[in-house]
Amino acid sequence: MKAEENFYKRQAQTTPFPIGLEGTHAKGSYIYDTSGKKYLDMVAGIAVSNLGHGNKNVNRAIKNQVDKHLHTMVYGEFIQSAPAEFAANLTGILPKPIDAVYFVNSGAEAVEAALKLAKRCTGRSQIISFKKSYHGSTHGALSVSGNELKKRPFRPLLPDVHFIEHNVGADLNHITTKTAAVIIEPVQGDAGVRIASKSYLKALRERCNETGTKLIFDEIQSGMGRTGKWFAMNHSEVIPDYVTLGKATFGGMPGGALAAPKNELDAFTHNPMLGHITTFGGHPVVCAAGNAALEEMKRTVNFEEVEAKGEYLATALKHEKVLEIRQIGLMLAVDLSSANEVQKVFDYCLKNGVIIFWFLSNPHSFRLAPPLNIEQKDLEKAVKVMREAFNILP
Ligand SMILES: Cc1ncc(COP(=O)(O)O)c(C=O)c1O
């Protein structure tokens, strides 16, 4: 009771109606509440817990690092084995010439760093982003996010930011020699899983090459196996200039990273020196967790199975009440007729022990992003409950 009271009275809220589920522990694909009721987690904390909850090896790595040391110095000054090792391991799964990372504390901060690096390296200020995109809630990240409703009260935001349609080739001519960077989610997450085609991404890459514009792929949500490959970019042959990472990258711990060629990241070291700084970025415990999660992913996650599980969900959820399902790997959007229907399905699922969730910029859909190692029997259980929910819709 105490936690509940403090949550509502002493913790700032993000909506007037938080879910308010009080978890006591979580294991695999399940979260347990104070009454002992278990909930099947079909969203993984919004694409974070890709290995499920309570992974033994990730937990052990965290505990080992806690016993060695916590924070000893601000980012970039001391050599610490956990971030150094993780940087090497993480760049090992990224395409060349992306060969280094700058660790920060969240996805939004990775986006901030990417925008700054693009401006610093091109000497330009214009940024092009996409309608309905989501890149975070800080001023810079919000400036390049597409949802006008969420931005209006916080203006003025960054100047010289322009929005084009995702996956529409005709709009690419808005990218010019004035454009410092284009920031794109190759699979838009909060827009409701909108997948850019290979040919579009190729044309985008070519336009950025022609104009000397930095191409930033925001893989904060789509990265680390979520789409059935390490990164959404791996579905095409397109290699961006910079990649932003967060969410699942740190094994359930809070973090973010800007991945880019080392010679470009070096721009932060001069003119001005300390061009981008952070106290806690690359925290050793966070990086130890990330490294263990990455090793565990390599060892245990089969990407073909991730895609097969996603396809199973997309097929099994077809129903007369479902207008459309968009799916890539285990990243899914299920379109219903209205936000009201989504709420009804959410309520039914929660009552029956299945957690689904909304999208920021797509109110008539709900999202599914379960742990990548979720078992088939749990997927079937979730499908059963969701179909029962569709059946009660008027
Ligand atoms: C594509 C994308 N970019 C950036 C962010 C922001 O990350 P964070 O919430 O860690 O700041 C998110 C979070 O949902 C995201 O989905």
The CATH number covering residue 21 comes to 3.90.1150.10
How many domains, in total, are found in the chain? 2
pLDDT above 80 (res 274): yes
- Determine if ligand 1 sits within 6 Å of the CB of residue 45: no
- What phi and psi, each to the nearest 5 degrees, are found at residue 328? -145, 120
CA 6 vs. chain centroid, Å, equals 29
**What's the CA-to-centroid distance between 108 and ligand 1, angstroms?**
6
In a shared domain, residues 39 and 63: no
Query: Which atom of ligand 1 has the smallest separation from the CA of 360?
Result: 14
Half-sphere exposure of 194 (CA within 13 A, CB side): 19
Residue 41, SS3 per DSSP: strand
Q: Which of 220, 226, 258 to mutate to test the pocket of ligand 1 (most atoms within 8 A of CB)?
A: 220
Which candidate, 354, 349, 339, 353, places its Cα nearest to that of 391? 349
Q: Which atom of ligand 1 is nearest to the CA of 190?
A: 16
Residues 6+ apart with CB under 8 A from 17: none
Classify residue 114 by its DSSP letter: H
| Residues 205, 60 share a domain | yes
pLDDT band at residue 144 under the 50/70/90 scheme? very high
112 with 257, same domain: the answer is yes
Percent of the chain residues topping a pLDDT of 70? 100
- Ligand 1 mean position to 107 CA, how many Å? 5
- Tell me, using a 6 A CB cutoff, whether residue 371 lines ligand 1: no
> How many angstroms does the Cα of residue 373 sit away from the middle of ligand 1?
22
What's the pLDDT score for residue 100? 98
- Residue 35 Cα to ligand 1 midpoint, Å, equals 32
Give the DSSP H/E element, type plus range, for residue 126: strand 126-130
Query: 190 is written with which tokens?
Result: 């909060």
CATH no. for residue 139?
Answer: 3.40.640.10
State the residue for tokens 């899983």.
Answer: 193
User: pLDDT tens across 116-135, in order?
Assistant: 999 999 999 999 999 999 99
Using a 6 Å cutoff on CB, does residue 246 contact ligand 1? yes
| Cα radius of gyration (the chain) | 21
* Integer Cα distance of 355 and 41 in angstroms: 5
Asked whether the predicted pLDDT for residue 29 surpasses 80, the reply is yes
Going from the Cα of 165 to the center of ligand 1, the distance in angstroms, rounded, reads: 20
Q: Is the beta carbon of 106 within 6 A of some atom in ligand 1?
A: yes
Residue whose Cα lies nearest atom 8 of ligand 1: it is 107
Would you state the structure tokens that stand for residue 114, as one six-digit string?
Answer: 């990417």
pLDDT at 134: 98
- 223 pocket-lining for ligand 1 (C-beta < 6 Å): no
Position 1 scores a pLDDT of 61
For residues 124 and 226, state if they share a domain: yes
Distance, CA of 247 to CA of 258 (rounded, Å): 13
Q: Is 112 in the pocket of ligand 1 (CB under 6 A)?
A: no
User: Helices 284-300 & 81-91, crossing angle to 10 degrees?
Assistant: 40
| Residue minimizing CA distance to atom 3 of ligand 1 | 135
Q: CB of 192 within 8 A of CB of 333?
A: yes
Q: How far is the CA of 335 from the centre of ligand 1 (A)?
A: 22
- Find, among 37, 31, 73, 36, the residue nearest to 49 by Cα: 31
Kindly state if the Cβ of 135 falls inside 6 Å of ligand 1.
yes
Cβ partners under 8 Å of residue 225, min gap 6? 50, 248, 297, 301, 303, 306, 329, 372
Determine the residue type at 384.
K
Per-residue pLDDT, 285: 98
Residue 14 — pLDDT band, cuts 50, 70, 90?
A: very high
CA-closest candidate to residue 22, choices 10, 11, 31: 31
End-to-end CA distance of the chain: 36
Last residue of a domain, one of 241, 271, 299: 299
The per-residue pLDDT of the chain, averaged, comes to: 98
342 and 284 together in one domain: no
Taking the centre of ligand 1 as the mean of its atom positions, its distance from the CA of residue 155, in whole angstroms, is 20
**Is 240 in the same domain as 105?**
yes
Neighbours of 382 (CB within 10 A): 25
Query: Which of 274, 299, 324 is the endpoint of a domain?
Result: 299
Residue 381 has pLDDT above 70, yes or no: yes
Judgement on whether residues 151 and 179 belong to the same structural domain of the protein: yes
pTM: 0.98
> Where in the sequence is the domain holding 217, given as residue range(s)?
56-299
* HSE (side-chain half, CA atoms, 13 Å) at 16: 0
Residue in 224, 247, 359 to alter for ligand 1 test, most ligand atoms within 8 A of Cβ = 247
- Minimal-distance CA residue to ligand 1 atom 4: 135
Residue in the structure block whose two tokens are 């020699």? 177
The identity of residue 373, as a single letter, is N
Q: Do 129 and 269 lie in a common domain?
A: yes
Binding site membership of 220 for ligand 1 (Cβ less than 6 Å): yes
Kind of pairing, strands 23-27 and 357-358?
Answer: unpaired
Check whether residue 62 and residue 46 sit in a common domain.
Answer: no
The pLDDT score that the predictor gives to residue 225 is: 98
Contact in structure between 338 and 364 (CB atoms under 8 Å): yes
On whether both 124 and 139 belong to a single domain, the answer is yes
What is the 141 CA–ligand 1 centroid distance (Å)? Answer: 9
Last residue of a domain, one of 253, 283, 299: 299
Q: Ligand 1: which of 43, 48, 135 to mutate, most ligand atoms within 8 Å of CB? A: 135
Instruction: Check whether residue 310 and residue 367 sit in a common domain.
Output: yes
| CA of 327 relative to ligand 1 center, distance in Å | 19
Q: How confident is the model over 305-351, as pLDDT tens digits?
A: 999 999 999 999 999 999 999 999 999 999 999 999 999 999 999 99
Token pair, residue 387, equals: 């179909």
Cα–Cα distance measured from residue 311 to residue 309, given in angstroms and rounded to the nearest whole number: 5
Pocket test for ligand 1, best of 49, 109, 221 (most atoms within 8 A of CB): 221
Residue 283 confidence (pLDDT) above 80: yes
pLDDT at 325 (0 to 100): 98
> Do residues 240 and 356 share a domain?
no
Asked if 197 contacts 326 with a C-beta cutoff of 8 angstroms, the reply is no
Locus of tokens 């938080």: 18
pLDDT tens per residue across span 186-240: 999 999 999 999 999 999 999 999 999 999 999 999 999 999 999 999 999 999 9
Residue 95 has what DSSP assignment?
Answer: P
